[in-house]
A and B are shown apart, each in its own frame.
Chain A
């Protein structure tokens, strides 16, 4: 059973990473709008490519 002395701390490391990733996602505003992204995928843009590639959106 000594393996749990390694595995559980390892699990904690993963937990910390998960919480960290989530915090980053919250801070960068990914949870602010829960509706629009779901729609974007449905509306395919292929039929109307913008004339010039829009400059990469730096805020989202």
Chain B
């Protein structure tokens, strides 16, 4: 399916080194892209678990070399930190809750299970491949947690501990309770249904009155738990909606169930009239089924993304009396001295003590260029230390940090979100009121004509007009649409998001991380001097191999140039070094040109992210390490525009790259240098003009605007806070599902409208029939069921559009640990 020669056997990334690393699995030769992947494959082969590769769904992840070392996890051995995510068993064993980055399919769960249970000290590990959560139970007397976490990382799955919070437990409880209710309703319905068939048949064949009474009594016994156990949530919600004076679907539903049940009980005991136990139980079952499906879809989407926003902050290195110790971030106090290792996130707001440091504050500002800070400068929690270990003093921790304040901005923005009145709700309350009026009216009229038939006819009216079809019309469509979109890599987290998506008129994109991606794709080379592309690239790569600058990561490993000597980094300018006899400089145009002392060459458009390589004779090459535009972004922009959406780019980045990108993608409007508040203000302004705005973003800086937009989409590779504040999460590596989401949501609303129209037309026809006494309650129940079935089938049409493409988008795996350890705290 994939070209296996150029792709890593394990992680699927392109192999950049000429040969890759050879590995052997189950007797076959394969090649992997890196040393880390090789270690993972070797470990799997060594444990004789190679069949994993035959069963897995697609390429799996690899933990970074740093994560595979035990020291990395040492902080998690501390009792204070373990209290947050570990439960102690009576026999001394402990259980840790972990999120595993890179778990894709059930085969991964099997691999982890098989490999980890063989490790001494591990009692069990339960992996849920859907939520990527795991519960690891181990014996602290034989194994340390850090050892086991490193072992998981060596298997290719980076673990990150998280606190199981109440919401999870509530969700599990809710799921289990609904399942129990559903099964009670289902089994009860079948029983009561079979008795009802017997009674209907008996009515024609002169059934014994005794047997009839007996069947009625049995039906009553079975229907009672169905109504009061399985149907209880309907009564509760109906009562709530009456108290809040907003008549919902549950009111007539409860009235119909309640009336049918009470009347049947009454008739059973006086031994005359009709019983409607069958209608009542069928009703409860159908409605519970619809609600259950709806809830499952919601929970699945929530659990995939919500948990990421809840995990524990990592550890920090505190310096006490010159001694470094690993402590949990929540143990920090203002005034503590901290050591921040390169590549790690600053754990709290504070002041820099070290003379100089380079920090990446992109999670906060969206600005991806590193910022230089000097002793005494404030540093912000969540920013990334890039160059060397830096010392700092803590000023603010936890909720007082800038990060946490942005979090509050998110909450505020969310509360002020313009309220969309849901179409179904609007129709429902109008509809419910008229049904209740009609039923009362019918009752009054029949009371005058024939009091003895009043009850039967009012019940027929209630059942036939029962908004079952109406109640199903919207949730069924939304469930189908949500599932169809999830299969394409577009997760919906909020219930009303489908409707909101269909009403969007304006689409605002963040730039970095959304329209562009940072990855290790080699920069574009333009030779300027004697060297050809490959040679220039090689020299640049040799120089950059000595640098820890984030842009240096864009260069591949050097091939033939050999090692660069005497490499000197000039912050803000570039690198100088010697390869063989030649001196080279790489960096800004000005800096590179100084090497051969030509001022003319130094002049020229200074454009960010263009890097120049110079030798002693002159400029050699120009490298464009502009972030790569997301695959197919241009086509996607066109498709979005063809749906009639106004697309705008709103970025925190500098004006030039933003404008360039807008031109490349064919997007007309772009705004640069926007702070989180500015973006929010921009969206608010659009909303004031009556536009419905969808925001697509990935960073923490986007979170407030994501929460404030009418509907928001976070990138699956983005930060957890962004995902937490968004309504939808785009899990695929391309923007394509976004277009599909807009198209499908509009189609879904079309189907909702069809369903509502059908439900109303049906009622307009059935109501007079029932009110005039033509329909018996059992006919009404049949009509109601048929109508519901039709509505459900109509909704299912949405799901079976075109077949899912063979290469289903694989979620670009969570970011969970990476983003949080780098950002949160």
| CB pair A43 B222 closer than 8 Å | no
| CB pair A18 B124 closer than 8 Å | no
Q: Which residues of A contact B128 (CB under 8 A)?
A: 32-33, 36
Question: Which single residue of chain B is at the shortest CB-CB distance from A33?
Answer: B128
Q: Which residues of B contact A39 (CB under 8 A)?
A: 55, 105-107, 109-110
Query: Among A1, A42, A47, A60, which residue has its beta carbon within 8 angstroms of that of B126?
Result: A60
B557 at the interface (CB under 8 A from A): no
Separation of A23 and B31 alpha carbons in the complex (Å): 50
Closest Cβ–Cβ distance, residue B96 to chain A (whole Å): 14
| CB pair B51 A47 closer than 8 Å | yes
| CB pair B118 A51 closer than 8 Å | yes
Q: Which residues of A contact B124 (CB under 8 A)?
A: 54-55, 57, 59
| CB pair B130 A33 closer than 8 Å | yes
B221 at the interface (CB under 8 A from A): yes
The A27-56 residues at the B interface (CB cut-off 8 A) are 27, 31-33, 35-36, 38-40, 42-43, 45, 47-48, 50-52, 54-55
Give the size range of A's interface with the partner: 35 or more
| CB pair B49 A48 closer than 8 Å | yes
Which label, helix, strand, loop or mixed, suits the secondary structure of the B interface?
Answer: helix
Of B176-184, B353-361, B741-749, the segment with at least 4 beta carbons within 8 Å of chain A is: B176-184
| CB pair B106 A12 closer than 8 Å | no
Q: Which residues of A contact B114 (CB under 8 A)?
A: 45, 48, 50
Q: Which residues of A contact B179 (CB under 8 A)?
A: 26, 31
Query: Among A1, A4, A26, A48, which residue has its beta carbon within 8 angstroms of that of B47?
Result: A48
B48 at the interface (CB under 8 A from A): yes
Question: Which single residue of chain B is at the shortest CB-CB distance from A58?
Answer: B124
Closest Cβ–Cβ distance, residue A35 to chain B (whole Å): 5
Knowing A8-B218, A43-B51, A48-B47 are in contact, say whether A35-B129 is a contact too (CB < 8 A): yes
Q: Which residues of A contact B184 (CB under 8 A)?
A: 19
Give the size range of B's interface with the partner: 35 or more
Separation of A59 and B95 alpha carbons in the complex (Å): 11
B211 at the interface (CB under 8 A from A): yes
Q: Which residues of B contact A15 (CB under 8 A)?
A: 187, 191, 222
The B184-240 residues at the A interface (CB cut-off 8 A) are 184, 187, 191, 208, 211, 214-215, 218, 221-222
Query: Among A8, A35, A50, which residue has its beta carbon within 8 angstroms of that of B130?
Result: A35
Q: Which residues of A contact B222 (CB under 8 A)?
A: 12, 15
Question: Which single residue of chain B is at the shortest CB-CB distance from A45?
Answer: B114
Separation of A42 and B105 alpha carbons in the complex (Å): 14
| CB pair A23 B180 closer than 8 Å | yes
| CB pair B110 A12 closer than 8 Å | no
Query: Among B52, B105, B176, B187, which residue has its beta carbon within 8 angstroms of that of A26?
Result: B176
Hey, what's the 0/1 contact readout for A5-24 against B, CB within 8 Å counting as 1? 10011011001001100110
From B55, B106, B221, residue with most partner A Cβ within 10 Å: B106
Separation of A3 and B720 alpha carbons in the complex (Å): 65
Separation of A26 and B182 alpha carbons in the complex (Å): 12
Query: Among B48, B106, B176, which residue has its beta carbon within 8 angstroms of that of A35?
Result: B106
| CB pair B123 A55 closer than 8 Å | yes
B764 at the interface (CB under 8 A from A): no
Q: Which residues of B contact A42 (CB under 8 A)?
A: 55
The B45-66 residues at the A interface (CB cut-off 8 A) are 47-49, 51-52, 55
Query: Which residue numbers of A lie inside 8 Å of B, CB to CB?
Result: 1, 4-5, 8-9, 11-12, 15, 18-19, 22-23, 26-27, 31-33, 35-36, 38-40, 42-43, 45, 47-48, 50-52, 54-55, 57, 59-60
* 8 pairs of residues in contact across A and B, judged by CB atoms under 8 Å: A1-B208, A1-B211, A19-B183, A36-B109, A36-B110, A36-B127, A39-B107, A59-B135
